[in-house]
Amino acid sequence: MVQALSTILNFMSRWRREYWERLHWVTMDPALDYQAPAELRSISGLADLYQDRKDRGSTFDTKRKEMTAELEKVDGYDAKIWYEPGLWVVPQDPCYWITRDPALNISLPPQLATVDELKCARTQ
């Protein structure tokens, strides 16, 4: 199990940016069609920004699956290791929270309540 723990910690260190992006409410909706509206197409670098985020997320998922498969081959590996609070568990779905337009005058608590209703499994 010590070998497994070392592998997990090294993975966490190497992929910390991708963990952060997956675990935090980052205002980048992957479903947004940033090519459709002319005003979004005119923003220099926006397409690259979205593509970069998507590519990092895909690579992260692939490497995480490879790491998990590698760990399962380690003598004495027990899936209960993922219940250790010091290890970062990766949710299947990132939770995106797009803050509301301030002109709508929707305070923070109702916005959070809406997110909790939509992604209740992600609230902790």
Give which of 81, 119, 80, 69 is closest to 98, Cα–Cα. 119
Which residue has better confidence, 65 or 111?
65
State the amino acid at position 35 in one-letter form: Q
**Range 111-121 average pLDDT:** 72
The pLDDT score that the predictor gives to residue 123 is: 47
Question: 115: exposed, middle or buried (C-beta count within 10 Å: 0-12, 13-18, 19+)?
Answer: middle
Using the predicted structure, report yes or no on whether residue 124 has a pLDDT greater than 50: no
Tens-place pLDDT, residues 3-54: 888 899 999 999 999 888 877 655 566 666 766 777 776 777 777 887 888 8
Q: Cα(119)–Cα(124) distance, rounded to whole angstroms?
A: 11
- Tell whether pTM > 0.75: no
Q: Cα(69)–Cα(67) distance, rounded to whole angstroms?
A: 5
Longest dimension (CA), the chain: 58
Tens-place pLDDT, residues 60-92: 999 999 999 999 998 888 888 887 777 777 766
Q: Cα(78)–Cα(28) distance, rounded to whole angstroms?
A: 35
DSSP 8-state class, residue 122: G
